[in-house]
Amino acid sequence: MTLHPYRESLLSQLYPGFQHSSNCLVPAILAFEQLLSLPERFRTKVTWRLDGGFGGDANVDWLLARGYHLVANGCSNRRSAKLLQQVKRWQKVNPTKYVGRVPTPETFCRPIETFSIRYQTNTDWKHTYLFSDLHLSGPRTVHFYDQRGGAETEFRSDKSGGLYLHKRRKHKRDAQEVWLLLTDMAHNYLAWLARTILRDSPLADFGFLRITRDLFAIPGLIEMEQGQLLSVKLLRSSPYAEDLLACLQRFWD
């Protein structure tokens, strides 16, 4: 679970590989509430954007009953095909995606809207559907849902963006969970560095992979005295040394 736009990891939980994601939502939300000490009255200010694996009817109804807002991708391919036939008017989202309002196929504890989506891939047209209680137009609902991509980007950065979570596996569950927590700590330190030290510089758009591969690998020398940093020297031949030194100088000044 990632806090956007800070790019910080709030919560990581370890499950067996065979467990379906729909069974992970409720414990993740409860842990999120406890972690942030979220009062019940503030739940109406939180909107969950759920991928299809989390967007089952029971999970949707549970979130609505708990007072949250949501935009959830439904998980039933059979229902998606039926809803597609009920669209009376399509609205264009972009040249390869269209959305149409359809009747909500299930009764939930709070009124929600349902949208059928038709989109083009490299080989064919596919379809899905969204549940939403935000009362936005079809195109705005789709745009809002598509903005959820920040979390997926952060997951990929932990797996292959310099932290290589997927290549470091422990045989014991407890050891793997500790490794997951250590990766979260490293992830958040990188997010802090990018947000503070590298901001407003030519390095500001560096992702985690480029930070660990190109910046952390610059040879250098630091001088310390009684626990205090006195100087940082970096190899001048590195193409990023001058910019990184300027960022460090500005931060410590």
* Alpha-carbon separation of residue 183 from 85, 150, 171, 204, 246 (angstroms): 46, 18, 17, 22, 28
Confidence of residue 221 (pLDDT cuts 50, 70, 90): very high
Domain boundaries, the chain: 2-153, 170-252
pTM to 2 decimals? Answer: 0.71
All residues at 6 or more sequence positions from 57 whose CB lies less than 8 Å from its CB, including other chains = 106, 108
Q: Which pLDDT value is given to residue 99?
A: 97
At the second CATH level, the architecture of 2-153 is Alpha-Beta Complex (3.90)
Q: What type of residue is 175?
A: A
Q: Which pLDDT value is given to residue 36?
A: 87
Q: Out of 54-58, 82-86, 133-137, which region has the weakest mean confidence (pLDDT)?
A: 54-58
Confidence of residue 151 (pLDDT cuts 50, 70, 90): low
Q: What phi and psi values does residue 74 have, to the nearest 5 degrees?
A: -65, 160
Indicate the DSSP class of residue 232: E
* Alpha-carbon separation of residue 121 from 40, 48, 196 (angstroms): 41, 26, 39
Confidence of residue 156 (pLDDT cuts 50, 70, 90): low
pLDDT digits (tens, 9 = 90+) for 5-20: 567 777 777 777 777 7
158 has pLDDT over 60: no
